[in-house]
Amino acid sequence: MEDLEKLWQKVLSLLELEIPKASFHTWFKESKIEKFQDGIVFLRVNSNFAKEWIENKYQKSILCYLKNFNDQIKSIKYVIKPALTIEKEANPKTKIKLAKAIVNEDLQPSLQKINLLPKTKLNPRYKLSNFIVGPCNELAYAAALAVTEKPGRKYNPLFVYGRVGLGKTHLIQGIGNALLEKDKSKKIIYTTSEEFTNEVVNAIHYRTTLELRKKYRNVDLLIIDDIQFIGGKERTEEEFFHTFNALYENNKQIVISSDKPPFSLVGIEKRLKSRFEGGMIVDISQPDFETRIAILHQKMKENNIFLPEEVVEVIAKNISDNIRHLEGSLNLVYNNLKYKKIPPTKKNIEEILNSIFKPRKVIKPQEVINTICQYFNLETSKVVSQSRKKEFVHARQMIIYFLREELEMPYLSIGSILGNRDHTTIMYSLEKINKEIENNPLLEKEINEIKEILYQSE
Ligand code: ADP
Ligand code: MG
């Protein structure tokens, strides 16, 4: 019988043609024919889940191709072997590579590597080719692809909406990167509505509106992210409306993202909304389990990290509402397993995940006051009094900061529990401390320490 590896490669090359790329990658990446015996092909896959999936969806095709190449083959059996386990990564070279890939345990590790293309402000990491497609985003993806094929002609504007962390920025920047790849001379601008607002404000201030108009009306593709923040900013809306029209009339492509569909956007002028509605509107929703698995695989590949399939499944099962969290969890679990040498059991992984996503403890205002007074070793009655002594004022400001920023209390209530101060005093103090935080690292340290005490004590 011919080489099993070659045989499997031939089958894979056919399967690849009929299976969506992401699924193919997910299910067949580490697959292999282990052995062939008595008419049975023993196919190695990396999880029970993969086995079930392949059995249900692709077994017919696989068997058909196998029989085609070798008529002795009668059936398939599965052997489940995780592709790589943590312990197996003994090769020191790999270790270095892995260690480099992990920047820290931050929820957005990838942000640290961002290397923006100077003119377009596009992040080259966000490509259509590494955007995983599933039922939650397939329409959005198809529309994005169509836009790159016929920019300004087919879907104009393309309006993508969905909740935070579901891939809007990735997808719309992917359009820009794809277009640029096809044609380097294309003029593309990616901006957020907040940045655009700043530019308009500056242009008004420095009387450079004409330059601003020239900049934005001269592009082949304008991508504007998070348009919802434009609401209520009249001059910005006005400027955007005219930019939109100018581009549209010249068949230049406009791509917009938002957290809501046009009709639910609050505070945005009707005429602008109806422009948005004149194009293609697509949504991105929460990814299903299979898509989450595929995304995790993609992120592991990009970051050069490996986790056993069982572990990947536990992460995908537990984190479903936000892809940024999914990515963050992947890194967190990876770091914990690798550096803290925690065995990769389901229970351990769920514990790791819970540590970041568990609901925060509810804290009462009095607890905040007591904790902060204790922290600074001051008497509560003095802190709440009218005393202007520096140390009391500082502790008082901290209390205000916590009551407002952490407990989200109204200014009025903060004032009344702090010795009946009026709400403007509270607002003023808060402003002051927020400014100080920016310039004083010590203050940040204090805040973090207090936070730790508050949230840890049961
Ligand atoms: P949004 O703009 O909707 O808040 P982002 O585009 O910033 O979301 O996505 C958050 C993170 O999730 C990014 O790192 C992005 O690469 C990743 N992500 C989202 N959707 C996908 C996808 N379909 N395939 C691969 N990565 C994705
Ligand atoms: Mg975004």
Q: What is the pLDDT of residue 107?
A: 33
Apex 270 CA angle, 267 and 276, nearest 5: 100
- Whether the per-residue pLDDT at 253 is higher than 60: the answer is yes
pLDDT at 444: 81
Is residue 379 in a domain? yes
What's residue 21's pLDDT?
Answer: 63
Report whether pLDDT(105) > 50: no
CA atoms within 13 A on the CB side of 211: 9
Look at residue 371 and tell me whether its pLDDT is greater than 50: yes
Query: Does the residue 112 lie in any domain?
Result: no
Shortest-distance ligand to the CA of residue 170: 1
Per residue in 387-432, pLDDT tens?
999 999 999 999 999 998 888 888 888 999 998 998 888 988 888 8
At position 14, the amino acid (one-letter code) is: L
143 and 257 share one domain: yes
283, 298, 329: which is the final residue of a domain? 283
pLDDT band at 88 (very low <50, low <70, confident <90, very high): very low
pLDDT at 263: 86
**Closest ligand (CA of 172):** 1
Q: How far apart are CA 32 and CA 47, in angstroms?
A: 13
CA-closest residue to ligand 1 atom 14: 324
Domain assignment present for residue 69? The answer is yes
Identify whether 170 is part of a domain: yes
Q: What is the pLDDT of residues 302-356, one digit of tens each?
A: 989 999 999 999 999 999 889 998 998 998 899 888 887 888 899 899 888 887 7
- How far is Cα 440 from Cα 447, in angstroms, rounded to an integer? 11
Together in a domain, 139 and 271 = yes
Residues 134 and 266 in one domain: yes
Ligand nearest to the CA of 128: 1
Centre of ligand 2 from the C-alpha of residue 164, in Å: 7
What ligand 1 atom has the least distance to the C-alpha of 126?
16
The CA 325 to ligand 1 mean position distance, Å, reads 10
User: Residue 99's pLDDT is what?
Assistant: 29
Assess if residue 356 is contained within a domain: no
Which residue among 240, 257, 283 closes a domain?
Answer: 283
Query: Would you say residue 103 lies in a domain?
Result: no
pLDDT at 28 over 80: yes
CATH (domain of 269)? 3.40.50.300
370 pLDDT above the threshold of 90: yes
Is residue 450 in a domain?
A: yes
The pLDDT tens digits for 152-208 are 988 999 999 999 999 999 999 999 999 999 999 999 999 999 899 999 999 999 999
Q: Per mean pLDDT, which range of 3-17, 102-116, 206-220, 251-265 is the poorest?
A: 102-116
Ligand 1 centre to CA of 310 (Å) is 23
Residue 161 Cα to ligand 2 middle (Å)? 10
Residue nearest atom 16 of ligand 1, based on CA coordinates: 170
Residue 72: CA count within 13 A, CB half-sphere: 8
Domain hosting residue 147, numbered range: 128-283
Q: Which residues contact 233 (CB under 8 A, 6 or more apart)?
A: 197, 200
pLDDT of residue 313: 95
Q: Are residues 19 and 150 in the same domain?
A: no
Give the CATH number for residue 69. Answer: 3.30.300.180
Task: Say if CB 165 and CB 171 are below 8 A apart.
Answer: no
Residues of the chain with pLDDT > 70, as a percent, come to 88
* pTM, 2 dp: 0.59
Site residues for ligand 1, CB cut-off 6 Å: 110, 131-132, 137, 162, 164-170, 295, 298, 323-324, 327
Ligand 1 midpoint to CA 382 (Å): 50
pLDDT of residue 16: 76
> Is 353 part of a structural domain of the chain?
no
331 alpha carbon, closest ligand: 1
Question: What is the pLDDT, as a whole number, of residue 422?
Answer: 87
Residue-wise pLDDT for 422-452, tens only, equals 888 898 888 888 888 877 888 888 888 898 7
Residue 190 in tokens: 């990616």
pLDDT at residue 106, rounded to an integer: 33
Please state the domain count of the chain. Answer: 3
How confident is the model at residue 103, as a pLDDT? Answer: 30
| Residue whose CB lies within 8 A of the most ligand 1 atoms, among 130, 323, 326, 327, for a mutation test | 323
CA of 126 to the centre of ligand 1 (A): 8
**Nearest residue by C-alpha to atom 26 in ligand 1:** 131
Say whether both 68 and 210 belong to one domain: no
CATH of the domain at 439: 1.10.1750.10
